[in-house]
Structure 1
Amino acid sequence: MAAEERPKPSRLPSHFLPDREVHVIISTHSGNHEAQSYYSDTLHGYLTDHVPHLELRKNYFVHTTTSLTSITELTSKLFLFNAKKGVKNTIILLSGDGGMVDIVNAMTTTLQREVDDNRPPSIFFKPIIVLFPLGTANALCHSAGIIARDPLKVMMTGRAKPLPQFEVRFSRAARLVADEGRKRLEFNEPGFPEEGKEASGELGYYDPEGHVRVYGCVVFSWGLHASLVAFSDTEEMRKHGVERFRMAAGQLLEEGHVYSGTVKYKTERGGEWLVLQHKSGSGSDADGDKKHKYILATLVSNLEEKFCISPHSKPLDGTLRLVAIGNQPSDTAVKILTLAYEQGKHVEEMREFVTYHEIDSLRIDFNENDEKWRQICIDGKIVAIEEGGWVEVRKMPTTGVDGRRVVELVC
């Protein structure tokens, strides 16, 4: 992401015009903690050179995070307020996927609390986000082609496009896993949590039916993927960068746990729930279709630079795709996931073992006694579902009363 010898664009992109507030967010805890040095050494000078008089404007601001909730608080108190007042915001986000998820969740959750229907207010200027890959996996940047095309070039020549989202709804006793797995935080509703207990900030809320709702824009998972994210989320493991996921996967595959629960899906809004039927030997006994290795629903193609889990996904196309592996031996699972690192060859070369297709919704009813096997992953955040609990995921449509796309991404 060096800034040398890049040609200046002939004119400013619309997201840098003088009528917009420009906010830089430096996420100090993301990835290898390089956001501050990248801003100081590269981005600051590049902006000064390519966006004339930016720092002389009264509407240019730099924010440095001081806690894991800084981006959420900025969004709720500033960006959402501006959007509803008709103020145009451009957010230059030096973060991983988590920063984007914090913005999406804070905006959507707060809007849901404030209005009876699902639509943004009539006056609502979606913030435009320029994302720089300063996280660990950087799935959004890889999948949207930002890294391949050079983030600085994309910032000056890219176009803002609505960011697709999905909604996750789960049973009331679900809790957010925090502090390297040591804490369980309650979600938010008026008068909730109980006095003296910690809450999850702006991640999620209780709907009128008493169910928790959370929003994502990258990936939902249960099984091997969710477990490896949860198990690798420690300060010691984070030192290994993206390699920590492979390390955790190796340990989990050696353990060989098979996840138990009923998985259903819909192919269209309002359609019937279909029980997931795994391929090739996964249903060799009466409970075969209740045994799973890997359940994942994704809006993106790549979860890492070379880990192409959904090769048919296109940048920001809004398509939710299911990737599922049944009760396969660990060596088969390893082969499948290894082929995902080879430009997504697993969906063709191992298609007799992999379920892969477009869906609208996904539901899981859990049948696990141990909580660690009931943990789900929503864009890197881990939620523990209570024993006998359930979770539903659904793609958010682009228009209509259910249409929610609260931000735009430059790509």
Structure 2
Amino acid sequence: MASFVPTPGGHAIASWAFRSLRRCDRARPPLRINLTMPSEPTETDTAVTDDRVGPMGTADVGTAVAATPDDVLFVRSADAAFQVVTLSANGERVQVRDGVETAPAGARVLSGPPAIGGGPVTVVCSTKSGQGRASTVYRDAVGPLLRALDVAHTVVETTSAEHVAEIARGLGTGPQTLVVLSGDTSVHELINNVEAGDTLRLCVIPTGSGNALLTSLGATVRSAVAALVFGTVRPLSAFSVVLPPGTREAQPETETTPYRVLPPVAEPVQVYALVVASWAIHAALVGDSDTPEYRKLGNARFAKAAQENLARNEPWRGSIAYTPVGGGPAETVPGTEHSYVLLTGISSLEPGFVVAPDAVPLSGRFWFVHMGFLPGDEIMEVLMKAYKGGEHVHDPRTFYKEVDGLEVTVAAGEPDRMRRWCVDGRIFVSGEGAPVRVLKGGPTVRGRPVELLA
């Protein structure tokens, strides 16, 4: 199959756009939505045995270190004393104290190797992700922690939009462990550029503007840093989108390249996704907001893209069939006019926007969310219910179902803007004459097992 080089995108843009439109369009009748973001999840400690640990699995009580158990990430024996490692509430600062005579009360004890292993580890700081925090979080938290754990590692700071893909292609085929400080885009770039080979283990510290995968796992910067020590490994089950010959990718403007639409490919293209694949209005919002004329508007482009697409009141035409869970004959979605077509394996595209409330990240299962043709104000009305814990899935205008696959054939003669697909924020204009297929994930990505430490 042909391949594309991934470029940055924003799969959460559509949910931001609807929310931004609601904020700025005060002429509309107000939809009373609770947009309070969820609080940071509480981490649960598991007692670990150590020869200096009391009967309840906690270190002996002492007063030599002025730190509470909530601040202490772990303690471990070091000769005749303790090493005490603390982690700030936001996860962006680690402090290491050696030679402590008495451990803090209730501190978690590390008696064996950390979850990340002993190295070698490659740390990738995506310098353009989000607000550019990756390098700072490495300097103040991840780096000190890895050094305290005696984990051999090298650090790579990205210098261009293509750098993460280049790193992935240069990994080789042997076992690899990467700590990636970034958003979802960099993880997408990594898995779509690795070679077939031995296991690739990823630990993602969510420092990007879109952290949907980690958000759905309930992870924060703090819990992701802590996972380097006490995390668990799970297969990273990515689903895939197979686009037909004639497909073109729209690549957004970067520091070194202008906005461009690549030439059509002659063979089918398989793109792996961790977060979302969509057609219709979700893809239209993401695609429009990344074009040069919209980017000139700054953050206001998201609301403008939403407003203009909703105002058109036009359907996306095509036929849709899905594969039921467990296989069996494909089932056809009634009608040929659609407004919202989205597949995802995670619950939330951003904090608070619960698009698939039953989705369990990394489970290998994925969910289909569909709306037939609706006027723009009704689309917005339904989608705003996603901010109420995913109530939109109970709206009779929404079709919501776990599936094993999906096949969409866009109607012949539809213009390019109605043929756009969003795959983890990347925009593709699908080729004509053949369907786009979305396939359930398996144990490998591009012939390589991929694991997530979280």
Aligned-partner Cα distance in 2 for 1:309–1:269 = 23
1:22 and 1:373, CA in 2 relative to 1: closer, same or farther beyond 3 A? Answer: same
Which of the residues 232, 250, 255 maps onto 1:177?
Answer: 250
1:145 and 1:345, CA in 2 relative to 1: closer, same or farther beyond 3 A? Answer: same
Show the counterpart of 1:100.
187
1:409 aligns with 2:409: no
Aligned-partner Cα distance in 1 for 2:374–2:303 = 19
Contact 1:12 1:156 in 2 (8 A): no
Aligned-partner Cα distance in 2 for 1:238–1:317 = 39
Contact 2:274 2:424 in 1 (8 A): yes
Aligned-partner Cα distance in 1 for 2:233–2:192 = 19
Q: Say what the alpha-carbon RMSD is for the aligned residues.
A: 2.8
Which of the residues 137, 156, 160 maps onto 1:67?
Answer: 160
Show the counterpart of 1:360.
404
Show the counterpart of 1:322.
368
Which of the residues 219, 224, 248 maps onto 2:281?
Answer: 224
Contact 2:114 2:230 in 1 (8 A): no
1:381 and 1:240, CA in 2 relative to 1: closer, same or farther beyond 3 A? Answer: same
Q: Which amino acid aligns with 2:279?
A: W
1:47 shift after superposition: 3.4
1:244 shift after superposition: 5.9
Listed as ranges, the gaps of 5+ residues in structure 2 are 1-89, 96-106
1:254 and 1:33, CA in 2 relative to 1: closer, same or farther beyond 3 A? Answer: farther
Q: Which is worse superposed, 6-15 or 89-98? A: 6-15
Contact 1:396 1:403 in 2 (8 A): no
SS at match of 1:257: coil
Contact 1:9 1:156 in 2 (8 A): no
Q: Structure 1-normalised TM-score?
A: 0.77
Aligned-partner Cα distance in 1 for 2:127–2:156 = 10
1:34 and 1:75, CA in 2 relative to 1: closer, same or farther beyond 3 A? Answer: same
- Deviations along 1:301-336, one digit per CA (max 9) or x if unpaired, are 111111110000113111111000111122221111
Show the counterpart of 1:10.
110
Contact 1:161 1:409 in 2 (8 A): yes
Contact 1:9 1:157 in 2 (8 A): no
SS at match of 1:142: helix
Show the counterpart of 1:120.
none
- Deviations along 1:258-303, one digit per CA (max 9) or x if unpaired, are 11111111114653222112xxxxxxxxxxx111100001111111
1:38 shift after superposition: 2.7
1:213 shift after superposition: 1.6
1:185 shift after superposition: 2.3
1:237 shift after superposition: 4.5
1:254 and 1:12, CA in 2 relative to 1: closer, same or farther beyond 3 A? Answer: farther
Q: Which amino acid aligns with 2:371?
A: I
Q: Which amino acid aligns with 2:374?
A: Q
SS at match of 2:449: coil
Aligned-partner Cα distance in 2 for 1:138–1:33 = 14
1:396 shift after superposition: 2.2
SS at match of 1:101: helix
Aligned-partner Cα distance in 2 for 1:238–1:90 = 39
SS at match of 1:146: coil
1:131 aligns with 2:231: no
Q: Which amino acid aligns with 2:129?
A: S
1:164 and 1:245, CA in 2 relative to 1: closer, same or farther beyond 3 A? Answer: farther
Aligned-partner Cα distance in 1 for 2:340–2:92 = 40
Contact 1:162 1:405 in 2 (8 A): no
1:403 shift after superposition: 10
Aligned-partner Cα distance in 2 for 1:225–1:97 = 17
Aligned-partner Cα distance in 2 for 1:356–1:47 = 43
Aligned-partner Cα distance in 1 for 2:447–2:239 = 9
Aligned-partner Cα distance in 1 for 2:206–2:298 = 17
Contact 2:285 2:305 in 1 (8 A): yes
Contact 1:223 1:373 in 2 (8 A): yes
1:27 aligns with 2:129: no
Identity of aligned residues (%): 30
1:381 aligns with 2:454: no
SS at match of 2:348: coil
Q: Structure 2-normalised TM-score?
A: 0.70
Q: How many residues align?
A: 348
Q: Which amino acid aligns with 1:212?
A: V
Q: Which amino acid aligns with 1:360?
A: D
SS at match of 2:283: helix
Contact 1:320 1:358 in 2 (8 A): yes
Q: Which is worse superposed, 167-176 or 8-17? A: 8-17
SS at match of 1:106: coil
Show the counterpart of 1:342.
388
1:45 aligns with 2:144: yes
Listed as ranges, the gaps of 5+ residues in structure 1 are 112-123, 188-192, 194-205, 278-288
Show the counterpart of 1:281.
none
- Deviations along 1:191-235, one digit per CA (max 9) or x if unpaired, are xx8xxxxxxxxxxxx7xxx32222112110001111111122258
1:159 aligns with 2:216: no
1:174 shift after superposition: 0.3
Contact 1:104 1:406 in 2 (8 A): no
Show the counterpart of 2:58.
none
Aligned-partner Cα distance in 1 for 2:381–2:112 = 47
